[in-house]
Amino acid sequence: MSRDGFGSKLGIIAAAAGSAVGLGNIYRFPCELGNNGGGAFLLVYLLIVLCLGVPVMLSEFIIGRRAQKNPIGAFKMLRPRSGWPVIGYMGVLCAFIIMAFYSTVAGWTLEYIVKAIGNQFHGKELSVIEQEFADFHDMGWKNVLWQAVFIFLTGFVVFKGVADGIEKYAKILMPVLVAILVVLGLRAVTLPGAKEGLTFLFKPDFSKITGSVLISALGQAFFSLSMGMGVLITYGSYIQKDDNLTTTALSVTLSDTLIAVLAGVVIFPAAFSFGVQPTAGMGLVFNTLPMIFNQMAGGYFFCIIFFVLLAVAALTSTISLLEVIVAYFVEELRMSRRWATVIASLGCMAIGVFASLSLKSDTGFTIAGLSFFDSLDFISAKVLLPIGALFIVIFVGWVMGKKTFNEEITNGGKLKLSIKSVIFFIIRYLAPLAIAVIFITGFV
């Protein structure tokens, strides 16, 4: 089957970085860090990214490029008549789950663009901004509407196959996002009381490292790098035979991590300065940021540009999620791209409505004490992604084996890569062990 449509001339670094960089970096990372002991979390997170980021990402690329198929088709082709495709099915399920709650937050970015244009944060106290955020959640229908708009936008791009254009766009816009984060960071660290925030972020208190911090950092690393569910297998299948997989994985991992840390440097000093609790979760970002803009020259414009960029960053991530489902529908279930996109989008919306509505203060829609929204987040980031990543590295390390690995990573011997044995060692032994140990400590 020809693999045109979405990915034919895709700039793979831009596409993979577009998938990786998103709300996970700017919204979810500060939430997790704030709830998991600050600096201790950052340290564990960076260690995990350093040791596992590139090897796991490479494993996905290798599976995808070797098979030239969606995650389910890939496992079916590489190991026919085996249980391996289950990992692919899990990935598609995970894409639905992540889309459902991710699109809720993505929808908020649209609401905040409108608010920013209307200059609605101007001169307001923190308590007012916080109250308005809470009121917004209580207007369930408005959340659902923005969410629907966002899913529609994603579906439109995935269907039209203009992702190529979007990714080019993202290539320009992402550096602008970095630049704005740097400007915001400079403002944040010079606010009164900012030092406490920097201490919270960068000074690890080792006594805070618990099993739950470990699993949260592992989940956040996989979530942020879009690993463990087949997005990168799907993108790997669009990678040209002469692209360098290792440098691609390295650049994506580095840029994603840089943006997350930058977001931390913006959020925590400002949060401490304004009196937002580091455990405030969603409010940490959505309430702290407008406060920073209020304290900046040109804050009105920065605020609009920032939320537009955040929405674009979220869009390049939701595109990758929807693409996993659509690629499966088209290639395995033989649907037309149009119907595949419509059905996948409606499916995400159907679950997503409940995610959005579960955040209303009066719904009481909880599972084991977590809102439905948080349950989806938990099950995907802390359960499905680690399990997916575990089996992906086992597949490359033990099932595909060293010869195939070397072939793929050197493009059939054309590239020299002195550390390939080290990477293979990590994929075969260290990564499975580390993931399994963290997973078990996290839950036991």
The interface with ligand PFF within residues 229-268 (CB under 6 A) comprises 229, 231
Q: Which stretch binds ligand PFF (CB under 6 A): 20-28, 72-80, 268-276, 425-433?
A: 20-28
Toward ligand PFF, which CB reaches closer, 24 or 185?
A: 24
Please name which of 258, 249, 247, 203 lies closest in space to residue 46, comparing C-alpha atoms.
Answer: 258
- The reply to whether 226 sits near ligand PFF by the rule CB under 6 A is yes
Cβ distance 48 to 39 under 8 Å?
Answer: no
Distance in Å, CB of 376 to ligand PFF, minimum: 12
Number of other CB atoms surrounding residue 80 within 10 Å: 9
Residues 6 or more apart whose CB falls under 8 angstroms from that of 359 comprise 104, 137, 143, 371, 373
Please name which of 232, 230, 237 lies closest in space to residue 388, comparing C-alpha atoms.
Answer: 230
Write out the two tokens for 377: 């987040």
- The reply to whether 24 sits near ligand PFF by the rule CB under 6 A is yes
Distance in Å, CB of 123 to ligand PFF, minimum: 31
- The reply to whether 98 sits near ligand PFF by the rule CB under 6 A is yes
d(CA 440, CA 360): 33
Q: How far is CA 134 from CA 60, 62, 139, 236, in A?
A: 39, 44, 9, 41
Write out the two tokens for 97: 């789950």
Size of the site for ligand PFF (CB under 6 A): 15
Q: Which stretch binds ligand PFF (CB under 6 A): 71-79, 81-89, 181-189, 220-228?
A: 220-228
Distance in Å, CB of 293 to ligand PFF, minimum: 22
- Residue 353 sits at the vertex; the CA angle it makes with 161 and 165, to the nearest 5 degrees, is 15
Distance in Å, CB of 23 to ligand PFF, minimum: 5
Toward ligand PFF, which CB reaches closer, 134 or 383?
A: 383
d(CA 214, CA 200): 18
Q: Which of 104, 224, 244, 345 binds ligand PFF (CB under 6 A)?
A: 224
What secondary structure does DSSP assign to 94-135, as a single string? HHHHHHHHHHHHHHHHHHHHHHHHTTTTTT--HHHHHHHHHH
Q: Which of 23, 100, 184, 217 binds ligand PFF (CB under 6 A)?
A: 23
Toward ligand PFF, which CB reaches closer, 226 or 248?
A: 226
Distance in Å, CB of 96 to ligand PFF, minimum: 11
Residue least distant from ligand PFF (Cβ): 24
- The reply to whether 223 sits near ligand PFF by the rule CB under 6 A is yes
Distance in Å, CB of 165 to ligand PFF, minimum: 20
Toward ligand PFF, which CB reaches closer, 18 or 55?
A: 18
Residues 6 or more apart whose CB falls under 8 angstroms from that of 195 comprise 269
Cβ distance 320 to 238 under 8 Å?
Answer: no
Q: Which of 5, 18, 25, 36 binds ligand PFF (CB under 6 A)?
A: 25
Distance in Å, CB of 243 to ligand PFF, minimum: 20
* Interface pattern 63-92 for ligand PFF (x via CB under 6 A): ------------------------------
The interface with ligand PFF within residues 309-368 (CB under 6 A) comprises 317, 320-321
What secondary structure does DSSP assign to 72-100, as a single string? HHHHHHHSTTSSTHHHHHHHHHHHHHHHH
Q: Which helix (H) or strand (E) holds 366?
A: strand 366-367
Residues in touch with ligand PFF (CB under 6 A): 19-20, 22-25, 98, 223-224, 226, 229, 231, 317, 320-321
